[in-house]
Structure 1
Amino acid sequence: MTSVPATAADDALGHRARLRERLFIGGAEALQDYELLEYLLALAIPRRDTKPVAKELLREFGDLSGVMNAAPEDLARIKFMGETSVAAIKAAHGVALRLLKTETSSRPVLGNWQALLDYLRADMAHHQIERVRVLHLDTRNKLVRDEVMNEGTVDEAPVYTREIVRRALQLGSAAVILVHNHPSGDASPSKADIDITRQVASALKPLGIALHDHIVMARGGHTSLRAQGLI
């Protein structure tokens, strides 16, 4: 009886089986970033070796978070990234954000600060344009509404104090947290960031609504204006 030589397809199936086994035994921490991407893409394009595609995605977008946050049209520019594989990445990102948001919403925000930062970083740090969002809290400091207020350009997005006040009154918010991102990667607040923070705080205070913080998110980290003594 003669043995049949292993084919490239057999090798790929064996490699994916080994990745799957490591994932089951050790969890996601047992796989490197490119291996997680590789396995995810293999579910979408099972007949292709997805390791080179995964590594090219990481080279192009910097890290796993950059890949997950990339726009669909940018992902599609990578060779062999079709609609199905792009959709797989955006779906995985969506699931991760839902889980992080659920963790953020389940307990008072001020007692669960790291979970909030993890959620905001995953959702905002890699955006290529500025986005302003307002988190509305109840009297127990639990999140009742998370709203994107405005999107702008690569270096600014409008913040309307009157609109923040109107919406806080409409929702019966006891407190709010402002958040915006800096696409430049530098989380240092600008003079305009500091000025608008103080304007919003001053407008909310007579109404008994607290401005807990204004957080600037960026690829390089984050800055809390309250921690910096700027509120």
Structure 2
Amino acid sequence: MENSMKTWTHPGGKLRELGAESLTDAELLSILISTGTKGKSAEEIAKEILDKFGSFKGMANQPLEKFLQFKGLGDVKIIRIAAAFEIARRIVKQVIEEK
């Protein structure tokens, strides 16, 4: 079966086989969220967050408390997302400083 025909049950498998750039924003975010809730997958939660804030950029400067409104996001998941955004900020800062 060709990769383009394959269906993954979790975006992590897609990332491993096709690379991170092949994932949608919701798929990337769902990897950080890891698990969903009864009746709602991690990817569905990720889509709700992105719909609410519009993009990763829209999410980036939100206070952590704003993420508590999403069912399925607790402290650990919110902290994981905040850490990922901080890593991204530091990478951007380093790139800018190197120019």
TM category (shorter chain) comes to 0.7 to 0.9
Gaps of 5+ in 2: 1-7
Instruction: Tell me the TM-score normalized by structure 1.
Output: 0.36
Contact 1:68–1:89 under 8 Å retained in 2: no
Query: Aligned pair count?
Result: 89
Change (3 A) 1:101 1:31: same
User: Residues 26-175 of structure 1 correspond to what in structure 2 (within 5 A)?
Assistant: 26-42=18-34, 46=35, 48=37, 49-107=41-99
Change (3 A) 1:87 1:57: same
Q: Whose radius of gyration is greater, 1 or 2? A: 1
Which consecutive segments of 4 or more residues in structure 1 shift more than 4 A? none
Letter of the 1:76 partner, please give it: L
Q: Residues of 2 paired with 1:47 and 1:75: CA distance?
A: 15
Change (3 A) 1:88 1:102: same
Instruction: Tell me the TM-score normalized by structure 2.
Output: 0.77
Please tell me the root mean square deviation across aligned C-alpha atoms, in Å.
1.8
Q: Residues of 2 paired with 1:62 and 1:47: CA distance?
A: 21
Q: Residues of 2 paired with 1:61 and 1:74: CA distance?
A: 10
Q: What is the percentage of aligned positions where both structures have the same residue?
A: 30
2:3 alignment counterpart: none
Gaps of 5+ in 1: 1-13, 108-231
Structure with the higher fraction of residues in helix conformation = 2
1:15 alignment counterpart: 9
